[in-house]
Amino acid sequence: MIFTYQIFFSWRANLDVENDLYLGVIERFYMQTDIGVIIFVATGYKDLILYFKKYLNNTIIYIFKAISILLLLFWQGKNFDLCNFSNTSVVTDYAKLVMDTIPHNSTIFTHGDLSATTIPYLQLCENYRPDLKIIDMELMTYNWSVPRLKNTIKSLEFPAEQWHLRDTETTFTLNRFLKVNIFEKETTPGVYVCIGAHQEEISYQKSFFLLPIGVCHQFYPKDNDISLVSYIQKYGYLYDSWPYSYDSKFDPKSWEYIANRIIWDAKYNIFF
């Protein structure tokens, strides 16, 4: 069963192991099959103890159990620092900083694993920035997603039942959504995407361009003027409060490393 799972995952994931983050993702997926291995080992250990009781005295069995416990404690102590993230708040700090840069009552489209998990988690589980309207772009491709969003986010208008790369009676493009909610509803606050728009979704480029706001981008109407001086003054030093240095010693396979690099890349890119 474990072997079948690993074959299926490797086939479906098809990730480039030369990429440190993807290698870390694959390693973390092995944790699921490790649970199965632990169950088999525990069952075998119990059977081994029962077998020993038939042929060995209790003293030897107690010694065997003591050695087993010592080995477990040694293994846990040796790897504790690698598994202990209780004092690590990089990903949480990242999500809070990103959310704090977004104006009140705005809409955020999340894109990518990091933003699509951390930002909704903070809002739904910790009630952080409840004013924001957070939408997972990928989920809008499912036919059940948009009808639910219509019931939960009534201040936005969804022009059809499903997000798609072309407009039909039942599907809508990002450009159509933005035009309905920004041009036709003048009271709608800004619409942002974190991190980056979907590569194949370019319909918005007819009427909007992506204005960098730190890690996120605002869908900014092409017809609207923008003052570069005011823009630099407002956003040029957006992440100066970020407490982690560029060369912080995070594991390249960790989300902490990715979050830190994303913030620093945003700090640099704002001037280019």
206 and 165 part of one domain: yes
75 and 202 part of one domain: no
Mean pLDDT of 245-270: 87
Residue 58 or 17, more confident = 58
Domain count, the chain: 2
- Residue whose C-alpha is closest to residue 210's, from 130, 117, 111: 111
Maximum distance among all Cα pairs of the chain, rounded to whole angstroms: 88
- Given 83, 108, 131, which residue is the final one in a domain? 83
59 and 169 part of one domain: no
The SS3 assignment for 221 reads: strand
- Rounded to the nearest angstrom, the gap between the alpha carbon of residue 224 and the centroid of all alpha carbons in its chain is 32
Q: pLDDT grade, residue 113 (50/70/90)?
A: confident
174 and 213 part of one domain: yes
77 and 120 part of one domain: no
DSSP state of 161: S
The pLDDT value given to residue 261: 92
pLDDT, one tens digit per residue, over 154-164 is: 888 899 999 98
Mean pLDDT of 116-143: 93
165 and 195 part of one domain: yes
Mean pLDDT of 66-72: 87
**Position 95 pLDDT exceeds 90:** yes
Q: What are phi and psi of 187, to 5 degrees?
A: -85, -5
- Tokens 């003052």, residue? 227
Beta bridge pairs of residue 210: 219
76 and 156 part of one domain: no
Q: HSE-up of 70 (CA within 13 Å, CB side)? A: 6
Whole-number average pLDDT of the chain? 85
**Position 3 pLDDT exceeds 80:** no
Contact 36, 1 (CB under 8 A): yes
Mean pLDDT of 107-112: 90
105 and 157 part of one domain: yes
185 and 259 part of one domain: yes
DSSP state of 52: H
**Position 18 pLDDT exceeds 90:** no
In angstroms, the Cα distances linking 215 to 197, 211, 263 are 12, 11, 6
pLDDT, one tens digit per residue, over 219-250 is: 998 888 888 888 888 887 788 889 999 888 88
The pLDDT value given to residue 91: 93
Alpha-carbon dihedral sign for residues 111, 112, 113, 119: negative
pLDDT, one tens digit per residue, over 186-195 is: 556 789 999 8
41 and 105 part of one domain: no
248 and 173 part of one domain: yes
Mean pLDDT of 75-92: 82
Residue 205 or 87, more confident = 205
Task: Enumerate residues 6+ apart whose C-beta is below 8 A from 246.
Answer: 260, 261, 264
Residue 15 or 140, more confident = 140
The pLDDT value given to residue 21: 74
Range of the domain at 257: 90-269
The SS3 assignment for 40 reads: helix
- Rounded to the nearest angstrom, the gap between the alpha carbon of residue 198 and the centroid of all alpha carbons in its chain is 15
Q: Which two tokens stand for residue 219?
A: 């869908």
